[in-house]
Structure 1
Amino acid sequence: MLVDALVFAAGLFAWTLVEYVIHGVLGHAHRTFVTPLHNVHHRDPRAVFALGAWIPTAVVLAGAWAMSGMTPAVIFYGGIVSGFAAYEYLHYRIHFASPSCAVEARLRARHLAHHISEPDAIFGVTTRIWDVAFGSEPKPDRMRELAATGARVAPLSGSSNLGRMIRSGIAAP
């Protein structure tokens, strides 16, 4: 049981690196299949673009579980999928809700600073660890200034494109 919990936690942690690579490397640093979808989100933060990834993600997890049971690999992947779910929830709240705690307020300020002022930096949404590790976090004084700017942004009103995507069969925005 403890080993399973540690493997799951390792999957959650692995998600943070996957998130950084998808956002920073595939969405910004290099032109890939992610770039046009992510650019839509930058033009209109109401555009949820990762929704289409949920179907294959869930199919792989269900298939792996059905074929292999709760092996360490499936548990690890379950941690990654749980990290993805937490990211989606937090990312939605960052754009559409007032922060519920100090941690969420800091993450929100960072991400909105990325949107407003620093599209080529501050790629971590759920953590800053990889921005620090890979040098994509601005210097502390600049980061404080950017975060203060992000903190002043009011939550978006209205709805995201989630309903439209569901009605159209989870098509790209």
Structure 2
Amino acid sequence: MGGKGFIVDMSKPIALQVGHLGDAYQEWAHQPVLTEESPRFFESDFMEMHTRTVWWAIPAFWLPIAFWCISMSYSMGHTLPQVVSMAILGCLVWSLAEYCFHRFLFHMETKSYWGNTFHFLMHGCHHKFPMDGSRHVIPPSGVSVPAALFWFLYGVWFTQSTRPALYGGGVIGYVIYDLTHYYLHHGHPTNQALKTLKKAHFSHHFRIQDKGYGITSALWDRVFGTLPKTNPTKKIE
């Protein structure tokens, strides 16, 4: 049975159940479970392992790759200021990619079995279980394929010597994004800028889920008119 009559059995692995929700999936996924509950997704321990990771695995895995890429451009003859500038530009390009992924891919409308399943594993699970700390950052195994694709595309778009620094800067931007996202859910910011980011992100989760797609910055939300209106009296701990 599918659609509105289907009920997800939370006592069993849920990833292959959610597709049966049909056109009721979107409503279900955006009704958050406000506990630190961390449900099992797959029966297979191997598959389940690739749905979870600790936050520090992200910088530990990706930053050496980023700095190695940046050093490649330096070794190919670019000056240090040029390499730094390219890395900063790569980080800025990532911020736009972050916004586009979140808005157009992570929040796409689905209702088919495999569409719902794919969306749940990609982002729906985060909206359903927003305080599940084991799934707030993306396991390197889940990012490796798109990362390899972007390395190939950078080779098409840029020269051989500029590609590594631009790509490395983008990887640094990605690391900042994932760690910022984790902190916004589990940290207690005292800095006003971080408080503002946290308020905007929680607004995206719990008030207006079709606004506020930027995580590390509201820049592109301002550019594209998707900045949510926040309640100035609402306090975020």
Q: TM-score under structure 1 normalisation?
A: 0.70
Tell me if 1:110 matches 2:200.
Answer: yes
- Report what 2:163 is aligned to: 73
Instruction: Note the 1:31-50 alignment, pairs <5 A.
Output: 31=110, 35-36=119-120, 37-45=122-130, 46=132, 47-48=135-136, 50=138
What secondary structure sits across from 2:95 in the alignment?
A: helix
Alignment of 1:13 with 2:92, yes or no, is: yes
* Equivalent position amino acid for 1:19 in 2: E
Shift of 1:105: 1.2
Deviations, residues 51-100 of structure 1 (Å, cap 9, x unaligned): 2434346767999xxxxxx8211110111110000111110011011114
- 1:22–1:34: 8 Å Cα contact kept in structure 2? no
Q: Percent identity?
A: 25
Task: Tell me, yes or no, if structure 1 residue 28 matches structure 2 residue 113.
Answer: no
2:31 match:
none
State TM-score, norm by structure 2. Answer: 0.53
Report deviation, 1:136. Answer: 0.9
Partners of 1:18 and 1:61 lie apart in 2 by: 11
| Structural mapping, 1:73-92, within 5 Å | 73-92=163-182
Point out the structure with max Rg over C-alpha: 2
Higher helix share: 1
Q: May I ask how many residue pairs the two structures share in their alignment?
A: 142
| 5+ long unaligned stretches in structure 1 | 64-69, 155-173
- The answer for the alignment partner of 1:66 in structure 2 is none
Deviation of 1:30 after TM superposition, in Å, equals: 4.8
Equivalents in 1 of 2:118, 2:137: separation in Å?
9
Q: Distance in 1 between matches of 2:217 and 2:129?
A: 23
**SS of match in other structure, 1:75:** helix
Q: What SS is found at the alignment partner of 1:125?
A: coil
Query: 1:134 aligns to what?
Result: 224
- For structure 2, the 5+ residue unaligned runs are 1-79, 153-159
State the Cα distance separating 1:29 from its structure 2 match: 4.2
> Contact between 1:38 and 1:49, CA under 8 Å: does it hold in 2?
no
CA deviation string 1:14-49 (max 9, x = no partner): 111110011111111454786322111001122336
Give 1:144's aligned amino acid: T
- Stretches of 4+ aligned residues off by more than 4 angstroms: 29-34, 57-63
Check 1:100–1:61 CA distance in 2 against 1; reply closer, same or farther (3 A cut).
farther
**44 and 105 in structure 1: CA distance in 2 versus 1, 3 angstrom threshold:** same
Counterpart-to-counterpart distance in 1, 2:226 and 2:118: 19
Alpha-carbon distance in 2 for matches of 1:99, 1:16: 21
